[in-house]
């Protein structure tokens, strides 16, 4: 058979694949990239052109593509047990993973419930919160609270607590209304205000709402430390500490959506650790399987678990997905956690992030840039682009130019961000920093 080029694959893809989060007509101008293989932080197309995956393929990849250790674990698991249903059955990978995750929370969150995608974990946390209150004799606690600019996924429940009009508005009639409170986004600091001042100001909004509606509110959901999808809006850990206290005072559950920020992205394994708090529900996905397989889960307290434990079947959590606790996905997660332990990943990431910060330093001081920010291994800055038409096309132009410079970067609006896998060597860090500068210059001048 004739060798198929990237163009062949792209044409076939456009004929049969409906790509996510895409107005497909835009591919008339912005070509797809057909990935044939990947290694470490690099993706390769059919002509061996390479692209540095500086956003970890939608924030999932932690230890590079085709990681030898995760590959070996999966190959072993394939020959042992690929999948068995989790109702009525259990298996080694799901048990070990649940134990290790509970241990990472110091056993504050002692039970894990599994699904596949992040949005499903959010649905589970919301249903569990409501049901736990109902089991505890508070059936009126049915309302949810989210933050301005929040993003928790695209299914109906998760979209109800998402505050991104572009994703939400078309489906408005299908959604349940949620309360939206102020974001503690540190970029909102007024003259002379610190990030902590913004956090204190934002918490007043929650306090007002809880005072009015606390008896009817089941939970507030938050992306701890970084609201990623809205454009890497970062806040001070103080916000989380104050929120935990408010939730306790008003008997409202705290759901920490660590789907994007968990697994070391913010510098600690869980973002909540930086505020020295634990939520009632913690959603995890994306990086937990190393970016290999769809896996999500909700960690919760033994107290919540106990509130479902009964002779009465209807007090139980009768939620399931066919692939709940998939053995291959759990084994990938175990291999991922093993790398964290063996390679002192969090400390080494601190060194890598410091080097990347140096490489990005020219942009931090650039007059065309606002709010250069960093939390752990997440970097972001906002381009100043007063012209509305150019601002609207900024992300697309930046993506296209980045690809020409061997980088995979997808700005959110005018926010350029990096969320690279934890495997960049010194040369790759230098290359990334230098090329982001070059791409930015080129896009701003074009």
Ligand X SMILES: Cc1ncc(COP(=O)(O)O)c(C=O)c1O
Q: Does residue number 119 form part of the binding site for ligand X (CB under 6 A)?
A: yes
- Selected from 123, 163, 257, 382, the binder of ligand X by CB under 6 A is 257
Spatial CB neighbours of 210, under 8 Å, sequence gap ≥ 6: 217, 246, 249, 250, 252
Number of residues near ligand X (by CB under 6 A) = 14
| Window 18 to 77, contacts with ligand X (CB under 6 A) | none
Q: 135 vs 415, which CB is nearer to ligand X?
A: 415
Strands 217-222, 253-257: pairing kind:
parallel
Report the distance separating Cα 93 and Cα 199, nearest Å: 40
Min separation Cβ 231 and ligand X, Å: 12
User: Looking at 24-32, 37-45, 62-70, 254-262, which segment touches ligand X (CB under 6 A)?
Assistant: 254-262
Q: Does the footprint of ligand X cover residue 153 (CB under 6 A)? A: yes
Of these, 45, 70, 111, 117, which contacts ligand X (CB under 6 A)? 117
In sequence order, which residues have a C-beta less than 8 Å from that of residue 221 and are 6 or more positions away? 122, 125, 126, 144, 145, 146, 150, 152, 161, 255, 257
259 binds ligand X (CB under 6 A): yes
Task: Give the one residue of 46, 131, 141, 152 binding ligand X; rule: CB under 6 A.
Answer: 152
HSE toward the beta carbon, residue 51, CA cutoff 13 A: 26
- Of 34, 74, 228, 356, which lies in the binding site for ligand X, with binding defined by CB under 6 A? 228
320 among annotated binding-site residues:
yes
Query: Residue 20 has which token pair?
Result: 């996510």
Q: Which stretch binds ligand X (CB under 6 A): 174-182, 199-207, 231-239, 257-265?
A: 257-265
Q: Where are the alpha helices (DSSP H) in 105-192?
A: 118-135, 156-160, 165-168
First and final C-alpha spacing in the chain: 42
Provide the pairing of β-strand 233-234 with 179-181: unpaired
Question: Does the footprint of ligand X cover residue 293 (CB under 6 A)?
Answer: no
Candidates 54, 225, 229, 295; binder of ligand X (CB under 6 A) is 229
For residue 316, the tally of other CB atoms under 10 A from its CB is 13
CB of 366 to ligand X, least distance (A): 27
DSSP letter for each residue of 175-228: SPP-EEE----GGGPPTT--HHHHHHHHHHHHHHHHHHHGGGEEEEEE-SSEE-
Of the candidate spans 106-114, 208-216, 256-264, 403-411, the one that interacts with ligand X by CB under 6 A turns out to be: 256-264
Q: Which is nearer to ligand X, 119 or 233 (CB)?
A: 119
> Which CB sits closer to ligand X, 151 or 292?
151
Binding residues for pyridoxal 5'-phosphate: 118-119, 257, 321-322
Which residue ranges make up the site for ligand X (CB under 6 A)?
A: 117-119, 122, 151-153, 223, 228-229, 257, 259-260, 285
Binding residues for substrate: 58, 151, 286, 320, 410
């Amino acid at each position: 058979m004739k060798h198929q080029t990237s163009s062949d694959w792209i044409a076939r893809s456009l004929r049969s694949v409906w790509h996510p989060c895409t107005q497909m007509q835009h591919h008339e101008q912005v070509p797809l990239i057909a990935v044939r293989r990947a290694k470490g932080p690099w993706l390769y197309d059919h002509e061996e052109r390479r692209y540095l995956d500086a956003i970890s393929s939608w924030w999932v990849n932690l230890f590079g593509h085709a990681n030898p250790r995760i590959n070996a674990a999966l190959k072993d698991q394939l020959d042992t047990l690929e999948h068995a249903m989790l109702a009525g059955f259990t298996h080694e990978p799901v048990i070990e993973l649940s134990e290790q995750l509970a241990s990472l929370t110091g056993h504050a969150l002692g039970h894990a419930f599994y699904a596949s995608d992040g949005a499903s974990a959010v649905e589970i946390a919301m249903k569990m919160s409501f049901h736990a209150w109902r089991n505890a004799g508070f059936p009126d606690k049915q309302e949810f609270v989210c933050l301005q600019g929040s993003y928790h996924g695209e299914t109906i429940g998760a979209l109800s607590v998402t505050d991104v009009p572009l994703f939400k508005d078309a489906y408005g009639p299908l959604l349940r209304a949620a309360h939206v409170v102020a974001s503690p986004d540190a970029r909102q600091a007024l003259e002379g205000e610190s990030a902590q001042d913004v956090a204190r100001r934002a918490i007043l909004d929650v306090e007002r709402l809880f005072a009015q509606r606390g008896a009817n509110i089941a939970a507030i959901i938050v992306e701890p430390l970084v609201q990623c999808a809205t454009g890497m809006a970062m806040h001070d850990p103080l916000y989380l500490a104050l929120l935990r206290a408010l939730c306790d005072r008003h008997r409202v559950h705290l759901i920490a959506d660590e789907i994007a920020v968990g697994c070391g992205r913010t510098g600690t394994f869980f973002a909540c650790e930086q505020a020295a708090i634990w939520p009632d529900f913690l959603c995890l996905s994306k990086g937990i399987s190393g970016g290999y397989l769809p896996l999500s889960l909700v960690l919760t307290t033994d107290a919540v678990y106990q509130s479902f434990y009964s002779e009465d079947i209807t007090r139980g959590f009768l939620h399931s997905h066919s692939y709940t606790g998939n053995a291959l996905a759990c084994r990938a997660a175990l291999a991922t956690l093993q790398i964290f332990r063996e390679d002192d990943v969090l400390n080494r990431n601190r060194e890598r992030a410091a080097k990347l910060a140096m490489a990005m330093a020219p942009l931090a001081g650039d007059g065309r840039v606002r709010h250069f920010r960093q939390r752990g291994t997440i970097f972001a800055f906002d381009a100043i682009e007063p012209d509305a038409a150019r601002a609207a096309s900024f992300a697309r132009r930046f993506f296209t130019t980045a690809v020409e410079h061997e980088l995979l970067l997808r700005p959110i609006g005018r926010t350029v961000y990096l969320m690279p896998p934890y495997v960049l060597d010194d040369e790759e860090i230098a290359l990334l920093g230098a090329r982001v500068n070059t791409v930015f210059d080129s896009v701003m001048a074009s």
